[in-house]
Structure 1
Amino acid sequence: MSKSSNEGKKIEAYGGPAGGWGALKSVAVHLHQQGIAAKGAKTLLSANQPDGFDCPGCAWPDRKHTSSFEFCENGVKAVAAEATARRATPAVIGARTVSEWAQESDHALEGLGRLTEPMVYEQSSDRYRAIAWDEAFALIAGELRALADPNEAIFYTSGRTSNEAAFLYQLFVREFGTNNFPDCSNMCHEPSGDALKAAIGVGKGTVTLDDFELADAIFIFGQNPGTNHPRMLGELREASKRGAKIVSFNPLRERGLERFANPQNALEMATLGSTPISSHYYQLKIGGDLAALKGICKRLIELDEIEPLLDRAFIAAHTSGIDALLEDLRAESWDLIIAESGLTKAQIDEAAAIYAKAERVICCWGMGITQHRHAVATIQMIANLLLLRGHLGRPGAGVCPVRGHSNVQGDRTMGIYEKPAAAFLDRLGEVFQFEPPREPGVDTIGAIEAMLAGRAKVFIAMGGNFAAATPDTAATWRALARCELTVHVATKFNRSHLVHGRRALVLPVLGRTEIDVQAAGPQGITVEDSMSMVHLSMGLNAPASEHLLSEPMLIARLAVATLPESRTPWLALAGDYALIRDKIAAVFPDFAGFNEKIRTPGGFRLRNTASERVWATDSGKAEFRVHPVPTDTAVHRARDATGRDTPVFALATVRSHDQYNTTIYGLDDRYRGVYGHRRVVFINAEDLRAIGLKAGDWVDLTSLYADGAGGFEQRRAERFLLVEYDIPRGCLASYYPETNPLVPLQSFAIGARTPTSKSIPVTLRVSTATA
């Protein structure tokens, strides 16, 4: 990797393992930067404790939820950011115009600290000012009640919203009269849910942490746990040490998938040792996973003809569609599989042999799988692979979609969904004595389209950073600006607060680390992790401001202001979250005894029918699904149209190591050797030579999407630094949200409408833009 330096900025190869002393140094730096070194250490010791708080970071589960050291570097960043000593008061925010704040980086906005009071935007001054809570609720209620149709309002939800808040939120919105519930799932793991529901009857993973102790092989697709789910590396480390095969498929060479030094292991730290993670690492092309998976399945069928490998008893008793799948696999061309996967025949054979020898296999994946046009098909091919040898519904085996935000899975369980089931609506209406709306609502892409078309006039976001998280930045920002009112519930000032409607509110709430006292005393909230474990979280820090509300209380007060005829006892529910949990149990059978169950350290696991080999599908069985290897993607079409004279690359958007979703904690990406930069493009060394450029050059990116009329829509993102990296030829990677402008609204996963942010056809040209 090349080296350069400019005022502290540099590109320099990182030679250490994931974790290790680098992680400990980063922890100290972030605690110091937030001014909470002593307080932060005390706070972290209460993370993921039976009487403590749940980490506000990722959704990876905690083993038994009892270890005082069950946190990671990125969890520390999330906790430090929330517990910061800095305050973004109305005086601080109001000292500058919104237009002036808009010139600041996302990192600078994050660095302002915690919001302290509700604020309203004034067009006349182009500034935010403080507003009383009652006045804010009256403003929102007035706008909502003035709408001609409840469907003119959009209600977005972030994955950090607790079960209790999400349940109240969906109840309020449905009593208001709409199912317009775009949420962060629409932009990440929607394909996982849709694919798995059709294939195995449940849209969640089937494994627990105990299964990782038993697996003989763990296949990882499109995931970078070293940055996105660092605690997962602990499980992978232990699996590696006991001899399990860890087989990784990823275009980029990621340090967290290569080797890991556990910062909580004294011997490993003292000896500067580390543990290899991946036993086999396959760098396929961006978007090549479906072809690779189909190749492994095809090779497995070939091996089965030599010596029986398929679990025929399981297939006969529990599945449908095997004959069609076998016919399709036998007919598939090896040349096509090799060309589209980017792997050699020998590599595919090797991966298939590892799978064939393993008695217990887990398949994991992240957004490197879900944010593609054929994401649903790819995930169903993962299911096909596991079903062929009965690796579902038994110990040490199963599917493991690794989700992002800490309660993104729980929000969906609580009813944050634009296409609710009729049975759920029936029960919700029965318990709360109203008739819920039946018309499906809009997802994230649909919400942006509705705002652009003027069909939606009020946008309310329960957390998140909608303007930065969404695709097609220019279109999204135009959509938000067309609203009569935009409302953002948040803990920090962010980009979305600067992309506002005619009127705008920013409403600050308590964080996960803070004490939440209501009428019934201190309250705890619950979350559901990626493995369907539900557990309690109790804050321990004093609130950042006396003016903060909890999310449940904010929702309750908004409901009281908006729905004067409602029979729901909103304020009583928000005054005692145990009452909310009783109502959740009344609506969802799997939550029977909710308040009793969460008293157990570690909480309880929700029923997963697929892990019991009960298949809640149309056929009553797990279903093999047939899918062709795609040969007409956006990248294919762009390359066919431009010819050889204009190289078209496949670009995947990724996170830096100092980033969690749209939250930018710092400007370094340690494991990839990037320091002080965010506008970078990772590129293969041979591609650099072929296009006549070199590492350190600055380029503009232009995306190309067929417009349906024989031409191409072009979107541009300017001034990115070329960084030589170990990535396949024809492939690029760059950070989001900086590259979100390159993804059009109309490019999304078939069957799930998730933006295709991991497979963007782009061209490069030397940049003339100034820094």
Structure 2
Amino acid sequence: EKADGIFILGQNPGTNHPRMLTTLERAKENGAKIVALNPMPESGLMHVVNPNPQEYDNILTYPVKMLLNRGTALNDLWLPVRINGDMPALRGIMKEMLAEEERSPGSVFDREFIERQTVGFEAFVEHLRATDWEDILTGSGLTRDQIRAGAQIAMHCKRIICCWAMGLTQHKNAVATIQEVMNFLLLGGHIGRPGAGPCPVRGHSNVQGDRTMGICEHMSDAFMEKLGREFNFAPPKEHGTDTVETIKHMADGRIRFFLGLGGNFLAAAPDTEYTARALQSCRLTAHVSTKLNRSHLVTGEIALILPCLGRSEIDRQESGEQFVTVEDSMGIINPSRGHLEPASKHLRSEPAIVAGLAKATLANRTTVDWNDLIANYDRIRDHIERVVPGFENFNARVRGEIFYLPNAARDKRQFNNVEGKAKFVISEMDLHKLEPGQYLMMTVRSHDQFNTTIYGLNDRYRGIYNGRRVVFMNPEDVKDAGLEQGQFVDLTSCYREEERVARHFMVAPFNIPRGCTATYFPEANVLVPINSTADRSNTPTSKSVVIRVRPSTRTAEAVNELRRNIDEVRSESASSRSPTRQS
């Protein structure tokens, strides 16, 4: 409502966060300028037709827009960066901003904010000056005019929001790139100002907020101490493992028990074959699930499936109908209630299953009354209130309007570090140097897909029908490689001395920068190396996979596989669209 500039980096709202489109539409109607940095011209970044009739002032305009596809134009500028070209692009935009600031001091940078609230500004400015334009243009894949156009928009905005998703987080230099986003925001003082700031658009509400609640491999000592006092036990001192390290520990036998609380772990994880072998090395694999998925077929020596209530189903416990709470990307807490009758009277809720596991394994080694907690979820929220900061008066607040978790930088311009100030961070640009015949691949989703659940084989936003094993390539790259549209090819990822192969993909010429390719997730996860992860965060680099593309030699086999995939997806789609089950 208040932003006058929105920069969208590494995110495709139309496919991955469709509910965000109406918010962007309102921002656009309020006069905000929108800049999209993306290797592909995604439809959801170009225009939107609001599908909600109740949000139209004139209801007669709703059928006209829907039938004629006359939507609101969203972006004012699309910058077609190379894969992982976001840091060089931002560096170029800031370099243009610096030039204008030096011509007219105080006209671009928020000098008061920089002097009072930040450290490292002078060193960062020197780094900006020293960055070579040739490296910026090569790394970003943009022209100087395109970068200047982005800078012009930024310089005329007083309240900028930067949104990003996995298009930034799944690269080796992911953390450094996000720090560059913060540098960009700091220059204009776009922190702690209404209508401005960083906006990481993260996972769906089934998992959002897990770290807030303590689901983290490296929890702070302060949190663990409060948790121990609340439940009268001594939490373990040893740190746990993140997803990638967990897979490795299962593979070498250090972890023998796997419990998946929702999701399709095998399909979502990197290096599919390695992850499958890791799961098969376990003594026991167990999944708490609302519906069957492929992870259930790759098991340890013993396998369990624990069916549970979906979020859309009524959760009845001893004290009556219950509700849970969810946290969204903005740190907003909302209640979530089911409204459908459960598919079976025997289904338990996820909290009830977790409590049952605790009772069965801990027995008299715990003083927690698990039955009491499940009888009334308010009692769980009472414990959360006493352990987790920001949840004061939890039960009363969640029954009122939504509430925000505290954020000192946003609310008070206070920063949680030794200096008490925001830091400009200097990073070197990572310029991918590909050998002849190599391409940089990223994985993407189709519009008819929710995480690993595939509802259909058509991706009408990109003009793909009846199949998902496709590789998007620049038309000139297709020509130079001696390939043709629709030709079957095999993809080989090249990481150190390792090779991984994904067979029988069809070539799809597309408007994507030269040297860049895109494939669908999770079909191409087999190409993502388990050891290729982002510095510091250890996130799999699913958006920076170096591959080679070669013609398939077994075309008949590829055709048969395509037919099988069509039959499988149609069958799974019919099951996934069941009106009574929703995860």
Same fold? TM cut 0.5: yes
Correspondence for 1:444 among 235, 238, 243: 243
CA contact (8 A) 1:218 1:244 kept: yes
CA distance 1:298–1:324, shift in 2 (3 Å): same
Aligned twin of 1:248? 36
Give the secondary-structure state (helix, strand or coil) at the position aligned to 1:218: strand
Taking the aligned partners of 2:499 and 2:209, their CA distance within structure 1 comes to: 38
**Any residues of structure 2 matched to 1:125-274 within 5 Å, and which?**
213-264=1-52, 265=56, 266=59, 267-271=61-65, 272=68, 273-274=70-71
1:320 corresponds to: 119
* Distance across 2 between alignment mates of 1:560 and 1:234: 45
Rounded Cα–Cα distance in structure 2 between residues aligned with 1:341 and 1:268 = 39
Q: CA deviation at 1:252?
A: 0.6
Superposed counterparts of 1:455-474, under 5 Å: 455-474=254-273
Aligned residue for 2:208, secondary structure, equals helix
Deviation, structure 1 residue 618: 2.9
Is residue 365 of structure 1 aligned with residue 164 of structure 2?
yes
> How far did residue 242 of structure 1 move?
3.0
What is the rounded CA distance, in whole Å, between the counterparts of 1:685 and 1:317 in structure 2?
A: 51
Structure 1 counterpart of 2:101: 304
- Distance, in Å, in 1 between the alignment partners of 2:48 and 2:406 is 33
User: Is residue 330 of structure 1 aligned with residue 330 of structure 2?
Assistant: no
Equivalent in the alignment of 2:465: 675
Whether contact under 8 Å (2:212, 2:388) holds in the other structure is no
Q: Could you say which residue in structure 1 is the equivalent of 2:485?
A: 695
Contact map agreement 1:228 1:404 (CA 8 A) in 2? no
Partner in structure 2 of residue 388 of structure 1: 187
How far the C-alpha of 1:763 sits from its partner, in A, is: 0.6
Aligned ranges 1:203-602 → 2 under 5 Å: 213-264=1-52, 265=56, 266=59, 267-271=61-65, 272=68, 273-308=70-105, 309-564=108-363, 565-601=365-401
1:736 maps to 2:521 = yes
- Give how far 1:241 is off: 2.4
Confirm or deny that 1:658 pairs with 2:432.
no
SS at match of 1:578: helix
1:480 and 1:486 in contact (8 A); partners too: yes
1:715 matched residue in structure 2: 500
What is the alpha-carbon distance in structure 2 between the residues aligned to residue 303 and residue 648 of structure 1? 39
Partner of 1:605: 404
**Whole-angstrom CA distance in 2 between matches of 1:680 and 1:734:** 6
Query: Residue 416 of structure 2 aligns to a residue in which SS?
Result: coil
Aligned to 2:569: none
State the alpha-carbon separation in 1 of the partners of residues 416 and 116 from structure 2. Answer: 15
Q: Which AA in structure 1 matches 2:90?
A: L
* Unpaired segments ≥5 residues, structure 1: 1-212, 707-711
CA distance in 2, matches of 1:381, 1:333: 16
**Alpha carbons 1:407, 1:529 under 8 Å: kept:** no
Please report how far the alpha carbon of residue 408 of structure 1 lies from its aligned counterpart in structure 2 after TM superposition: 3.0
Whether the aligned pair in 2 keeps the contact of 1:227 and 1:657 (CA below 8 Å) is yes
Listed one character per residue, the Cα deviations across residues 695-731 of structure 1 (whole Å, up to 9, x for unaligned) are 111100001012xxxxx21110000011111111111
Distance in 2 between residues matched to 1:394 and 1:739, nearest whole Å: 41
**Contact 1:268 1:274 (8 Å CA) reproduced:** no
- Matches of 1:274 and 1:586 in 2, distance apart? 48
**C-alpha deviations, 1:204-235, integer Å up to 9, x for none?**
xxxxxxxxx11111000011101111111111
Q: Measure the CA separation in 1 of the matches of 2:469 and 2:319.
A: 49
Q: How big is each residue's C-alpha offset from its partner over 1:109-141, in whole Å with a ceiling of 9 and x where there is no partner? A: xxxxxxxxxxxxxxxxxxxxxxxxxxxxxxxxx
8 A contact 1:700–1:719 mirrored in 2: yes
Shift of 1:268: 4.4
CA contact (8 A) 2:250 2:256 kept: yes
Q: Name the SS for the 2:161 alignment partner.
A: strand
What one-letter code is carried by the residue in structure 1 that aligns with 2:99? Answer: E
Unpaired segments of 5 or more residues in structure 2? 559-583
Provide the rounded CA distance (Å) in 1 between the counterparts of 2:417 and 2:208. Answer: 20
Contact 1:263 1:269 in 2 (8 A): no
Q: Which residue of 1 aligns with 2:572?
A: none
Distance between the aligned counterparts of 1:381 and 1:409, measured in 2?
24
Q: Tell me, yes or no, if the aligned pair for 1:515 and 1:540 is still in contact at 8 Å.
A: yes
Distance 2:130 2:42 in 1: 35
The one-letter code of the counterpart of 2:114 is I
Counterpart CA distance in 1 for 2:370 and 2:91 is 52
Inter-partner Cα distance in structure 1 for 2:263 and 2:32: 38
The whole-number CA distance in structure 2 between the counterparts of 1:659 and 1:474 is 22
Q: How far apart are the structure 2 equivalents of 1:658 and 1:556?
A: 35
With CA pairs under 8 Å and 6+ residues apart, which has the higher RCO, 1 or 2?
1
Task: Give, in whole Å, the separation in 2 of the partners of 1:438 and 1:538.
Answer: 36
Instruction: Kindly provide the CA deviation profile for residues 642-692 of structure 1, in whole angstroms up to 9, marking residues without a partner as x.
Output: xx3xx1111110011111111112222121111221101111111111111
Alpha-carbon RMSD across the aligned residues, in angstroms, is 1.1
Larger mean CA deviation between 311-320 and 401-410 belongs to 401-410
Instruction: Letter of the 2:88 partner, please give it.
Output: A
TM-score by length of 2: 0.92
Q: Tell me whether 240-249 or 452-461 shows the greater mean CA deviation.
A: 240-249
Alignment of 1:116-131 (within 5 A): none
SS at match of 2:154: helix
Please say if residues 261 and 269 of structure 1, whose CA atoms lie closer than 8 Å, have aligned partners that are also in contact.
Answer: no
Q: Tell me how far 1:263 sits from its aligned partner.
A: 1.7
One of 540, 545, 550 as aligned partner of 1:765: 550
Distance 2:148 2:328 in 1: 35
- Distance in 2 (alpha carbons) for counterparts of 1:274 and 1:456: 51
Aligned to 1:86: none
SS in structure 2 at match of 1:316: helix
| Kept in 1: contact 2:90–2:180 (CA 8 A) | yes
Counterpart position of 2:563 = none
**Which residue number corresponds to residue 627 of structure 1?**
427
Residue 625 of structure 1 deviates from its aligned partner by 0.6
Report what 1:724 is aligned to: 509
- How many matched pairs? 543
Render the CA deviation track for 1:723-769: whole Å, top value 9, x for unaligned: 11111111111101110111111100001000000011111111123
Letter in 1 for 2:472: F
User: Any idea what the Cα deviations from partners look like across 1:417-452, whole Å, max 9, x if unmatched?
Assistant: 000011000100011111101211100111011011
Tell me the CA shift for residue 589 of structure 1.
Answer: 3.0
Tell me, in whole angstroms, the C-alpha distance in 2 between the residues paired with 1:241 and 1:674: 31
